[in-house]
Structure 1
Amino acid sequence: MAVAHAQAAILGLTVVEADPDADAHALAQLGAWCLRRYAPLVALDLPDGLWIEVAGSAHLFQGEEGLIEDLLSHLARRALRARAVVADTPGAAWAVARYAPRERVVAPGCQVAAVAGLPLRALRLPRETVAGLTQLGIERVDQLADKPRAPLRLRFGPEPSLRLDQAFGHAPEPLAYLDLPDAALARLAFAEPISTPETLARVTERLLVELCAELERRGLGARRLDLVFRRVDGASRGLRVATARPNRTVRHLMQLFAERLALVDPGFGIDEALLCATRVEWFDAAQAGLGVLAGEPAEADLAELVDRLGARLGPGRVYRLDPVASTLPERSVRRVGPLAAAAEAGWPADLPRPARLLHPPEPVAVTALAPDHPPALFVWGSRRLRVARADGPERMHGEWWVSDADSGLVRDYYRVESTAGDRFWLFRDAPAAEGGRWWLHGVGEA
């Protein structure tokens, strides 16, 4: 539509001149951000799309759905509206994202069914090709797939058949992946494909030697490394490791990768390997060694232990608990990194707390001697527990400055010990006269 016609149709229309070069630059910046956050392989799909190879990194976000949710929420906070779909092939992901937006994850091996009912435009065909196929009565992808290919090739060339095969996964689709600006990386290409685990380990160590030398030259240490193996069939397999502190020790980084090299499926062989430091920090080796010279505990050893545990158990499963200034027990603790600085707040030393806090609290049935006295007996699940000793109540009020629901919250906590010697932390969520219910909030005693 011409600008004059648009302004005549909509009064006060705002017109902004298009700047394709600026749009391409902004898209490249977004791709570089995705490289650092989501995966080591990101390709531009001009003018308005990105391909992200998430194989090997989706588990860091609790699966493909979690990765999509994280991506879209971050873009929404930056006022960017987007659609995202995970599929086995770039063509299928492109088609479903644009023409079946309600679907987010195409199950493995189901890309044919996901694309079959979509319009021909979903195959990224030129407009004139789509118009010509429509004149022949071919409007959907499944109708094109049912037609003999030889006559279509004579009239429309090889592109319709190629795009169809790429979307279905019958033909590879090479992508021009981005490199991080000024990223430290090492690359190896092989004359003959490799596949044995021993060879992959030797290649990884050689890449680490080259990369760590480059990091040392720049005065940097790696916080996150992405290792990508590109197979002869065009697919890629990636591994990601992270470190708690900047590190460029080949031995230690090799140990982290060795934990996971067995997960790499070489397929029919690997013809290229790429190692990239996607997150780095300044690293002063002389400063790092002062603690050892002074006879202090070597923090680097602890950091390496944290790295090995994270590689084996998962990065989100290695943490420690830090106190938080809050009147409610479930809010008085938070997970932090194992090497994070200690918080200034602390738990009250004169108020004992249970060794294990249940979240959420579990309801219990209680028999009390008097309305505001500790319970004489309570039933927790299938266990019937008689109370031998008790202490309390310790009254806690809600945090009215957090939410309106907290303004009238009152809890009376009791520390009780059963006749068998087990200790529990019980509370009533309102005074007895108001019909408060009883809950089990903690087990044991610190």
Structure 2
Amino acid sequence: MAERRILALDLPRFAVDRAIRREPALADAPLALWTAEGPRRLITATNEHAGIAPGTPLADAQAIVPGLITRPADPAGDAATLRALATWCGGFTPLVASAPPDGLVLDITGCAHLWGGERPMLAEIARRVRGLGVAVRAAIAGTAAGALVLARGADGAIVTADRQAAAVAALPVATLRLDPDLAELAERFGLRRIGDLAAQARGPLARRLRPATLTLLDEVLGRSRRPITPIRPAPPAEATLDCAEPILTAEAIGAGIARLTARLCDDLIGRGEGVRRLALTCLRTDGTVQRIGIGTGLASRDAAHLARLLAPRIERIDPGFGIERMVLAAEVEPLDGRQAGLPGSAAAAATRREALARLLDRLRGRLGARAVVRLDPVPNHWPEQAVQPADPLAPPRPAPSAGQARPVRLARPPRRIDGVSLLPDGPPVRLGTMRVRRAEGPERILPPWWQFGLREAPRDYWRVETENGQRLWVFARRRDGTPEWFIHGWFG
């Protein structure tokens, strides 16, 4: 089994860098972010022009640094931006996790050769993050905790698993980011470096600095490993396209989609799988992400069909200052090869089913998934409630038995019409201005007995034919003995 390789990104001024990205004019001014803790307002982060330690009261900071610009901290916004940056890093590896409040870890096992090795990959990722206006320190190690500690204390370090313990031993305890009371206690005991902690007896160390510190120490030294929890599970199938130059036009995006779908489907043919859902992620040069997706009625690995489904959604992509990477991820299911058959054979029927599925996919792409459905019968007293939407490709449900033949077209809601009958419970002889030539019925439908408080009256349904040839489905609803007539459907 290959040794796990983790690349960690430490963003030491992330909150301040985010504030400067929102207000670029603050880049050259003394800036401090503050948060309220009870009645006090304390500094939480500053840029290099302020020269104030975090934890300083806001009033003191303003007295120390004339002209200090202050902004309230935004932890929720910082967390959302960190997650967005983690999504952006998904263009380098599908396994990316956030390490709040200002770190990211990327599992690059098996990915580094795509960038010419670990060092070129680390340099490229760091360069691109800095290009977003975010300060970054980076390192690579065998565990996530070890890589984060190295990034904080030895920017650019790359160590193998057998050298990880020695590499982190010389780093300050502060790089572990222990709770303030534990860090103060370690300092009081003279434990200033990670190697000093590692040299202590585990029992006394656990009692003084808590067992969680030992667990963290083991992960940092590489003695134990905790798997990262990616922000998004790795897709079963994926294709990536790096753009030589940032692309800006819909035509260029369409060409990229065509290349990605062809590459993805070639891979799926060898795996015996087909696409059920596709998600296209476009990584922009400004660090933001654009995403579109489609679904298919049946598993497919027809590259032209998949590209055609994505094409109408290209207009939803805002390329901004340019897209530098496109990632096409697929949810798949088994799809065996099929030989063409003679007319009437099972293979020919399957081919017709696939053609229907492609047509439905295109219609859903243009009209929306909810606009392309089939109506399946369901048992219900009222005819207007006796159908429900269903997937057109799903096996049909058997229709419940009914009394009289019922029309396919129904009025929603039933249309009130003036009617005349010769007998109290007899058929109509006139409906509006139309004379009734013949009538069949009645079929009485009662309201559901289990629905207490329902005020709907029974309905007596008739199939009638008028003098002008219309064949209607009408019913009479009697309240206080007086019939009210309604047209509910049309035959033919």
- The two structures have a TM-score, normalised by structure 2, of 0.51
Secondary structure of 1:208's counterpart equals helix
**Is 1:397 aligned to 2:443, yes or no?**
no
Q: For 1:10-409, what aligned pairs fall within 5 Å after superposition? A: 126-127=35-36, 131-132=40-41, 160=71, 163=74, 174-177=84-87, 178-277=231-330, 279-286=331-338, 296-297=348-349, 298=351, 299-345=353-399, 348=402, 351-379=404-432, 384-400=433-449, 403-404=451-452
Secondary structure of 2:245's counterpart equals strand
Secondary structure of 1:209's counterpart equals helix
Q: Counterpart amino acid of 1:395?
A: R
Cα shift readout 1:175-197 (whole Å, capped 9, x = no counterpart):
32333244322222334220122
The root-mean-square deviation of aligned C-alpha atoms, in Å, is: 4.1
> What displacement does 1:199 show?
0.9
**Is 1:414 aligned to 2:462, yes or no?**
yes
> What displacement does 1:294 show?
5.1
Q: Counterpart amino acid of 1:410?
A: P
Secondary structure of 1:404's counterpart equals coil
Secondary structure of 2:40's counterpart equals helix
Q: Counterpart amino acid of 2:323?
A: I
> What displacement does 1:133 show?
6.9
Task: Give the corresponding residue for 1:147.
Answer: none
Secondary structure of 1:204's counterpart equals helix
Task: Give the corresponding residue for 2:485.
Answer: 438
Alignment partners' CA distance in 2, 1:152 and 1:362 = 78
Q: 1:252 to 1:301 in 2, by over 3 A?
A: same
Kindly, what percent of the aligned residue pairs are identical?
35
Alignment partners' CA distance in 1, 2:64 and 2:284 = 30
Secondary structure of 1:160's counterpart equals strand
Alignment partners' CA distance in 2, 1:323 and 1:260 = 34
> What displacement does 1:372 show?
1.6
Cα shift readout 1:333-387 (whole Å, capped 9, x = no counterpart):
2221111102233565x732223112332333333333222223334xxxx5443
2:414–2:487: 8 Å Cα contact kept in structure 1? yes
Q: 1:174 to 1:321 in 2, by over 3 A?
A: closer
**Is 1:424 aligned to 2:476, yes or no?**
no
Q: 1:155 to 1:357 in 2, by over 3 A?
A: farther
Alignment partners' CA distance in 1, 2:381 and 2:459 = 11
Q: 1:371 to 1:156 in 2, by over 3 A?
A: farther
Q: 1:398 to 1:346 in 2, by over 3 A?
A: same
Secondary structure of 2:252's counterpart equals helix
1:226–1:239: 8 Å Cα contact kept in structure 2? yes
Alignment partners' CA distance in 2, 1:236 and 1:163 = 21
> What displacement does 1:407 show?
10
> What displacement does 1:204 show?
0.6
Alignment partners' CA distance in 2, 1:363 and 1:153 = 82
Alignment partners' CA distance in 2, 1:130 and 1:189 = 51
Q: 1:291 to 1:312 in 2, by over 3 A?
A: farther
Alignment partners' CA distance in 1, 2:333 and 2:297 = 11
Q: 1:230 to 1:418 in 2, by over 3 A?
A: farther
- The two structures have a TM-score, normalised by structure 1, of 0.56
> What displacement does 1:226 show?
1.3
Cα shift readout 1:295-342 (whole Å, capped 9, x = no counterpart):
633221121111111112211111222222334312322221111102
> What displacement does 1:210 show?
2.7
2:85–2:288: 8 Å Cα contact kept in structure 1? no
Q: Counterpart amino acid of 1:132?
A: R
Aligned length: 299
> What displacement does 1:203 show?
0.6
Q: 1:207 to 1:155 in 2, by over 3 A?
A: farther
> What displacement does 1:162 show?
7.8
Secondary structure of 1:206's counterpart equals helix
Cα shift readout 1:107-153 (whole Å, capped 9, x = no counterpart):
xxxxxxxxxxxxxxxxx96445993279xxxxxxxxxxxxxxx9699
Alignment partners' CA distance in 1, 2:63 and 2:303 = 55
Alignment partners' CA distance in 1, 2:395 and 2:468 = 40
After the TM superposition, list the runs of 4 or more consecutive aligned residues in structure 1 that deviate by more than 6 angstroms.
150-153, 155-159, 290-293
2:378–2:386: 8 Å Cα contact kept in structure 1? yes
Secondary structure of 2:384's counterpart equals helix
Alignment partners' CA distance in 2, 1:320 and 1:152 = 72
2:35–2:73: 8 Å Cα contact kept in structure 1? no
1:413–1:427: 8 Å Cα contact kept in structure 2? yes
1:187–1:207: 8 Å Cα contact kept in structure 2? yes
Alignment partners' CA distance in 1, 2:418 and 2:34 = 67
Task: Give the corresponding residue for 2:175.
Answer: none
2:34–2:73: 8 Å Cα contact kept in structure 1? no
Alignment partners' CA distance in 1, 2:445 and 2:277 = 43
> What displacement does 1:412 show?
0.2
Cα shift readout 1:371-407 (whole Å, capped 9, x = no counterpart):
222223334xxxx544343332121223335x33569
Q: 1:415 to 1:172 in 2, by over 3 A?
A: same
Secondary structure of 1:370's counterpart equals coil
Q: Counterpart amino acid of 1:387?
A: V
2:84–2:288: 8 Å Cα contact kept in structure 1? no
